[in-house]
Amino acid sequence: MEFDPPFDSAYKSLLDAMDPKGCPALEVEQCGLPLIDLARLDLDDAAAREKCKREIASASAEWGFFQLVNHGLPGELLERIHRVQVDVFRQPFEKKAHERLMDYSPDSYRWGNPCATSLRQLSWSEAYHISTIPCPEAEKANTIRCTIDEYTTAVSRLARRLAEILAEHLGCGGSHFDESCTSSTCYLRLNHYLPCASPVGVFGLIPHTDSAFLTVLYQDEVGGLQLMKGERWVAVKPIRGSLVVNIGDLFEVVYTLCCTALSNGEFKSVLHRVVANPEVERFSVAYFLCPSYETVIESCREPAVYRAFSFREYRLQVQEDVKAEGYKIGLRRFFT
């Protein structure tokens, strides 16, 4: 019984055409992201709380990414969500591809990239993109669904708290998150990165930015996440029990002021990727803080870098670009 997607057969022509000599090496320098102890936010010491908030803002401006410890999500819950992922992705491929996962949409399961015309457009991974709406009472006895709901509730609370801290730092209100980001608009993505026998020139997840306000990621200790720092790629060193947070496209649109140096106290959605591993599988779970499709995304600061658009318009444009180009173009489509 086959458990993994048929990458080798589905993308045989791309793999056969690959020239390893023409593929740039994906091994890069490993670094530690800014590490923030979030427990300080709950101290009685006001100075410690404010210092923690400044560190969050500084890391977001300098890196677009940061790592959290003492974030409030219990280690036991993180272990359970990891076991859920393993159980879900160990299901037969035909079942994953053609049957519903509990009461989630039948198209929530995705793998590869049917639009890929080269290996540079192919993500060697499978994923479940699932809604964060709590499960119906009839599903309460389902251990997998209960764990997903429990994790979602905890990580959603954390994401909103971080988003509000960043918005307040820039002197803007955080009403965007309270009014438009609900359990019916945010989503969770369970990721499984399969070993790739020919990893040179192959990505577990192709370079991209996230179409959300914020992303909160829990990953195992295998590693593979890389991000663009300045003009070079750097690899993120995993820390057991930590969470990785990054700025998304929508946050950049709403809170970025048009100026000569966007990183000067501003927050930018940063390009990142996952490299393929020849021997070891990797699991991660990402939470995306997103608004409703009808929400208008526009700058709260003038002059604006990007024109106003609805989240629906943005998502549709991303989908069109992926079909036409094989990859996401993103915010460049929406400059003023």
Report d(CA 210, CA 45) in Å as an integer.
Answer: 35
Q: Provide the 10 A C-beta neighbour count for residue 16.
A: 7
Cis peptide bond upstream of 291, omega within 30? no
261's tokens? 């140096």
* Cβ contacts of 312 within 8 Å, gap of 6 or more: 293, 294
154 neighbors 38 (Cβ within 8 angstroms) = no
SS (H, E, C) 38-81: HHHHHCCCHHHHHHHHHHHHHHHHHCCEEEEECCCCCHHHHHHH
* Cβ contacts of 15 within 8 Å, gap of 6 or more: 8, 119, 198
141's tokens? 């006895």
As annotated, the active-site residues are 282
96 neighbors 85 (Cβ within 8 angstroms) = no
Q: Provide the 10 A C-beta neighbour count for residue 279.
A: 9
